[in-house]
């Protein structure tokens, strides 16, 4: 009788511990989804501002159509990848967009009238602010993904994670950040 009671107590403790692990894994999963949604909000805000910036630039940059087109194409690729929830594709598209924006802002230096335009200044400040927001939110997303990935590999959580098909998630990395800066091109 005592052995049966002790066995039931041990089983109850084990079940409660497994439930706690499960609930923690669910919390991590939803934290990742929330962090992704927060990135998506900032990306959509920037998505709405970029056409306005391109239009202002078109008024001044008659000979820079290729750069403007590159920004517009990259904007579309970021929007599609974000909508699909694909971190790898979003990272590549975001890298292309950042490169295009970098070129656009660098070219704007050669157009004093454009730089003095209130709309351009406002939009470039707004987009820069959104870039910082995206970076902050990406950091939170990657931290959430990292906590999830570590947790599902730790003992004893890995048993519950495998039983209920909690899998690893992908970090959001931007392709442009992994490339070396060509200093000769900047100062040449």
Residue whose entry in the numeric block shows the structure tokens 């070219």: 107
Is the predicted pLDDT of residue 108 greater than 60, yes or no? Answer: yes
Which CATH architecture best describes the domain 22-187? Up-down Bundle (1.20)
Half-sphere exposure of 132 (CA within 13 A, CB side): 5
| Closest residue by Cα to residue 29 from 183, 148, 157 | 148
Chain segment 13-70, per-residue pLDDT in tens: 999 999 999 999 999 999 999 999 999 999 999 989 888 888 888 887 776 788 888 8
146 conformational bin, left if phi > 0, alpha if psi -120 to 50, beta if neither: alpha
Gap between the Cα atoms of 97 and 186, Å rounded: 19
**Domains of the chain: which residue ranges?**
22-187
Six-digit token pair at 122?
């406002």
């Amino acid at each position: 009788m005592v052995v049966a009671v002790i066995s039931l107590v041990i089983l109850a403790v084990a079940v409660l511990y497994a439930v706690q692990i499960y609930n923690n894994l669910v919390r991590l999963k939803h934290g990742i989804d929330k962090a992704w949604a927060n990135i998506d909000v900032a990306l959509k805000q920037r998505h709405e501002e970029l056409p306005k910036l391109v239009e202002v630039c078109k008024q001044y940059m008659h000979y820079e159509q290729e750069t403007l087109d590159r920004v517009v194409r990259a904007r579309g690729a970021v929007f599609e990848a974000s909508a699909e929830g694909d971190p790898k594709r979003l990272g590549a598209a975001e890298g292309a967009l950042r490169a295009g924006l970098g070129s656009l802002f660098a070219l704007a230096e050669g157009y004093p009238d454009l730089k003095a335009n209130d709309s351009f200044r406002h939009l470039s400040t707004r987009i820069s602010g959104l870039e910082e927001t995206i970076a902050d939110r990406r950091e939170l997303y990657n931290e959430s993904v990292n906590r999830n990935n570590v947790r599902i590999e730790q003992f004893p959580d890995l048993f519950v994670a495998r039983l209920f098909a909690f899998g690893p998630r992908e970090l959001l990395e931007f392709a442009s950040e992994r490339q070396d800066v060509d200093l000769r091109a900047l100062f040449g």
